[in-house]
Amino acid sequence: MSEVREKAQLAKQTAAVLGKLTTNEKNKALLEMADALIARAGDIIEANADDLRRGKENGTSSSLLDRLALNEERIRGIAEGLRQIVELPDPIGDTLETIERPNGLHIVKKRVPIGVIGIIYEARPNVTVDAAGLCLKTGNAVVLRGGSSALSSNRKIVEVLHEAMERTALPAASLQLIEDANRSSVDEMLKLNGLLDVIIPRGGSSLIQNVVMNSTVPVIETGAGICHTYIDESAQPDMAAAISLNAKVQRPSVCNAMETLLVHEAFAKSHLHSLAEAFKERNVELRGCARTLSYAPWAREASSEDYATEYNDYILNVKIVDDLDQALAHIAEYGTKHSECIVTENGQNAERFLQEVDAAAVYHNASTRFTDGFEFGFGAEIGISTQKLHARGPMGLPALTSSKYVIIGSGQIRE
Amino acid sequence: MSEVREKAQLAKQTAAVLGKLTTNEKNKALLEMADALIARAGDIIEANADDLRRGKENGTSSSLLDRLALNEERIRGIAEGLRQIVELPDPIGDTLETIERPNGLHIVKKRVPIGVIGIIYEARPNVTVDAAGLCLKTGNAVVLRGGSSALSSNRKIVEVLHEAMERTALPAASLQLIEDANRSSVDEMLKLNGLLDVIIPRGGSSLIQNVVMNSTVPVIETGAGICHTYIDESAQPDMAAAISLNAKVQRPSVCNAMETLLVHEAFAKSHLHSLAEAFKERNVELRGCARTLSYAPWAREASSEDYATEYNDYILNVKIVDDLDQALAHIAEYGTKHSECIVTENGQNAERFLQEVDAAAVYHNASTRFTDGFEFGFGAEIGISTQKLHARGPMGLPALTSSKYVIIGSGQIRE
């Protein structure tokens, strides 16, 4: 039997036990795991050094090496993340609905774990701990397949977590790491219907698209974000500048950062030149429509490919539109249904934008950067869903649950 | 452009309009559609006669012909189904959650339509109206691909519905019927990411498996039901007999009917012989484990293939188990996570069964035949989900919705 199938089976066998654990048992285990990470930080850093050495030999970029690198402080941060998950309310067992039927049937809809969750991700060893913590807190078993460039780190981290779990009620087998670094192990996970209940991809768009297009296991699509900010005619200039600058430069590498600024032509006449200067000062490269270039002559002309690109970088498309309709049409064409914002003082336009834009999060007068589990008050998140089924937007613990109807009768039969 | 792609695009173009319709506008349209079906019943029956004639020529079985056949009474029933959908509360626009953040952001999670729903089904023309009604009531556009043997009926029904819709605020293009009877039109639907938001298969298990295994569009899996009733040692004999007989014979052709009866050996000793006789009297063919045969010598020995078969017929597997553990293990191995029942007077055993069995609906002392949108009080249902994501169990109107976070700010930016 392949490693993938064997480990998925081992994970699945723990599902019944996991579903019965109390919140207290799960929390104790997570705390034990957090302590173990800190106690064994030295070993983890040593294993991580192997990955870094290999990465350097293979010419990995310095930004990727930075994401991969672990040190004492980062490990403390990762352990702290587990402790934060302990603080979150446990959704398992919650009553979602109670129905009393005329025939005396008593129906309760309860939250239950999903079962076995597959996570496919890249070279970020923090995801290993993070995903494990969120899945286990919700009573799910988890099969992790991280990027091969972090394999040595992930192996050591999981070894440390397993040792900690052995001292708790949480079965160690409920956390599985696929060590097969071949692409074929991902392909196999995508076809494990009956063993995996869902696959959540975390990473860049090519990883996500591979999972979406090839998985026969249900997928929760996360992450891709071509987010827009539309500055309407009536926008307060200072607010419009603050929101759009924040949406672009506060952290350009993330999915809720803005990629394209849409500007009403009347606003552009009075304010686009100074706004463009402000982006320039912050080292943002501008790619503009023909009209934009007259306000920012240093900008390069934007192609339709640019409008369809998630830069995750200090690059911004700027397009001048005649009205709200054109802004809505542009977003419908190029948006990825993640986060979209209108800055306006016109209530009617705001309402239309919030109603008509089809996205997980639609904003009036606030930065798209708020689309985030912590910022919404959910605590840690497993990702931001850009699909419409099951969960949409930031996914906290409830997104990792399913439900079950429990029906209590006294001999009822159907007439 | 292919018919499938063209019609899906037309459907998608109506999504923004559909999302804005008021409940009243949608209900008026549904009533108009119901009236039109009755007014044009003659034409529909004529078109249906073509399908029936073709079916007979092709040697279609009489039970399939019966499902296909329409008459005045059935058309009245179908129209009545639309009127019942009008009576159901409209979930669109409902507030699911309100969050006030310390920074003043006001976040509202609202119910919105999913977008465009693809339905792939067999030769039951009533599904055409039913699915259209449920999808349109929830503001979704719908692309229908019915079985080729009902094409003439479906074409006429959709023509009638379109004419009715032309007199209402509901765009006729929001209801599309794929007329291409080739299998390739199904294959094409399964790959229409970006145009279809979800596909719901309705029909037999081979249809459903084809969709699940080949669709890159998200799927809601429905229907397959290998349901068990477990009679525990302490079960009241009369209740156990009534529930198990009801679960099998009240309507054997449906997914929530029982396929396998599990009997505790102590109960079997005193009661299985008479229970087996009762099944025999109702023309149920029994397939039993070796021990069962001593109580029902006329039964045939059951194979493991039998335990894995959804008969939808007057056939029942019977297996004697030593205890609850064996019953749970059998259900875990052969169940399809649909509906499972324990009949017992032992509260602890009931609790364990309800907790440990992984299924959409778990019953204590009631027939599995109750797993149904009407019986749960939801009104009409689009199907019974046997998957764990998005919706599980009977799916009423809320299962046809997604959500959206609407965030109202006053210039908030992220620090």
* pLDDT tens-place string over residues B115-137: 999 999 998 899 999 999 999 99
Shortest Cα–Cα distance, B118 to chain A (Å)? 14
Lowest mean pLDDT among A238-247, B45-54, B206-215: B206-215
**The pLDDT value given to residue B339:** 98
In a shared domain, residues B143 and B289: no
Instruction: Note whether residue A379 is domain-resident.
Output: no
Yes or no, beta carbons of A115 and B358 under 8 Å apart: yes
In a shared domain, residues B200 and B234: no
Asked whether the predicted pLDDT for residue B278 surpasses 90, the reply is yes
Confidence of residue B140 (pLDDT cuts 50, 70, 90): very high
In a shared domain, residues B270 and B212: no
Distances (CA, A) of A64 to A46, A67, A155: 18, 5, 19
**The pLDDT value given to residue B10:** 98
Distances (CA, A) of B264 to A167, A386, B272, B332: 37, 48, 10, 17
Distances (CA, A) of B65 to A289, B69, B148: 61, 6, 13
Instruction: Note whether residue A385 is domain-resident.
Output: no
In a shared domain, residues B189 and B326: no
In a 3-state reduction of DSSP, which class is residue B177? strand
In a shared domain, residues A234 and A188: no
Question: A–B: how many Cβ contacts below 8 A?
Answer: 203
Distances (CA, A) of B123 to B55, B56, B63, B114: 10, 14, 11, 26
- How far is residue A336's CA from residue A358's CA, in Å, rounded to a whole number? 9
Cβ neighbours of residue A347 closer than 8 Å, sequence gap 6 or more = none
In a shared domain, residues B165 and B36: yes
Yes or no, beta carbons of B407 and A218 under 8 Å apart: no
CB A164 within 8 A of CB A29: yes
Confidence of residue B64 (pLDDT cuts 50, 70, 90): confident
Looking at the DSSP assignment, which residues form a beta bridge with residue B209?
none
Percent of chain B with pLDDT over 90: 93
Lowest mean pLDDT among A144-148, A304-308, B20-24, B220-224: B220-224
Shortest Cα–Cα distance, A117 to chain B (Å)? 11
Shortest Cα–Cα distance, B54 to chain A (Å)? 36
Burial of B297 (0-12, 13-18, 19+ CB in 10 A): exposed
- The beta-carbon neighbor of B246 closest among A236, A377, A413 is A413
In a shared domain, residues A174 and A312: no
Lowest mean pLDDT among A68-77, A344-353, B308-317, B373-382: B373-382
**The pLDDT value given to residue A223:** 76
Q: Which residues of B touch A406 (CB under 8 A)?
A: 354, 362, 364
> Which residue, B244, B297, B408, is CA-closest to A342?
B408
Q: Which residues of B touch A375 (CB under 8 A)?
A: 101, 414
Instruction: Note whether residue B190 is domain-resident.
Output: yes
> Which residue, A120, A355, A130, is CA-closest to A342?
A355
Q: Which residues of A touch B17 (CB under 8 A)?
A: none
- The beta-carbon neighbor of A411 closest among B242, B362, B392 is B242
Yes or no, beta carbons of A218 and B376 under 8 Å apart: no
pLDDT single digits (tens) B74-102: 999 999 999 999 999 999 999 999 999 99
CB A318 within 8 A of CB A260: yes
Confidence of residue B316 (pLDDT cuts 50, 70, 90): very high
- The beta-carbon neighbor of A367 closest among B236, B245, B414 is B414
Over residues B188-215, mean pLDDT:
93
> Which residue, B175, B149, B145, is CA-closest to B160?
B175
Domain count, chain B: 2
- Residue A206, number of CB atoms within 10 A of its CB: 8
Question: Which strand (E) or helix (H) includes residue B129?
Answer: helix B125-137
Instruction: Note whether residue B241 is domain-resident.
Output: yes
Label the pairing between strands B141-145 and B116-121.
parallel
CB A73 within 8 A of CB A120: no
Instruction: Note whether residue B385 is domain-resident.
Output: no
**The pLDDT value given to residue A123:** 81
In a shared domain, residues A71 and A207: yes
Instruction: Note whether residue A384 is domain-resident.
Output: no
In a shared domain, residues B175 and B278: no
Instruction: Note whether residue B378 is domain-resident.
Output: no
Yes or no, beta carbons of B406 and A360 under 8 Å apart: no
Q: Determine the angle formed by the axes of helices A23-39 and A125-137, rounding to 10 degrees.
A: 160
In a shared domain, residues B298 and B253: yes
In a shared domain, residues B186 and B216: yes
Q: Determine the angle formed by the axes of helices B125-137 and B23-39, rounding to 10 degrees.
A: 160
In a 3-state reduction of DSSP, which class is residue A208? helix
Closest residue in B to A378 (Cα) is B99
Asked whether the predicted pLDDT for residue B223 surpasses 80, the reply is no
Instruction: Note whether residue B383 is domain-resident.
Output: no
Cβ neighbours of residue A183 closer than 8 Å, sequence gap 6 or more = none
pLDDT tens-place values along chain A, 415 residues long = 999 999 999 999 999 899 999 999 999 999 999 999 999 999 999 999 999 999 999 998 888 898 899 999 999 999 999 999 999 999 999 999 999 999 999 999 999 999 999 999 998 899 999 999 999 999 999 999 999 999 999 999 999 999 999 999 999 999 999 999 899 999 999 999 999 999 999 988 889 999 999 999 999 998 789 999 999 999 999 999 999 999 999 999 889 999 999 999 999 999 999 999 999 999 999 999 999 999 999 999 999 999 999 999 999 999 999 999 999 999 999 999 999 999 999 999 999 999 999 999 999 999 999 999 999 999 888 999 999 999 999 999 999 999 999 999 999 999 9
Q: What one-letter code names the amino acid at A72?
A: E
- This complex has an ipTM of 0.94
Confidence of residue B264 (pLDDT cuts 50, 70, 90): very high
Question: Which strand (E) or helix (H) includes residue A283?
Answer: none
Q: Could you tell me the residue range of the domain that residue B182 belongs to?
A: 3-221+390-408
Cα–Cα–Cα angle for B191, B192, B196, nearest 5°?
130
CATH number at residue B138: 3.40.605.10
Distances (CA, A) of B128 to A290, B44, B79, B269: 49, 13, 12, 49
CATH number at residue B267: 3.40.309.10
Burial of B116 (0-12, 13-18, 19+ CB in 10 A): buried
Over residues B238-266, mean pLDDT:
96
Yes or no, beta carbons of B20 and A407 under 8 Å apart: no
Q: Which residues of A321-352 are buried (b: 16+ CB within 10 A; e: fewer)?
A: beebebbbebbeebbbbbbbbbbbeeeebbeb
Shortest Cα–Cα distance, B51 to chain A (Å)? 33
**The pLDDT value given to residue A85:** 96
In a shared domain, residues A115 and A96: yes
Over residues B384-400, mean pLDDT:
95
To the nearest 10°, the Cα dihedral for B253, B256, B257, B260?
A: 130
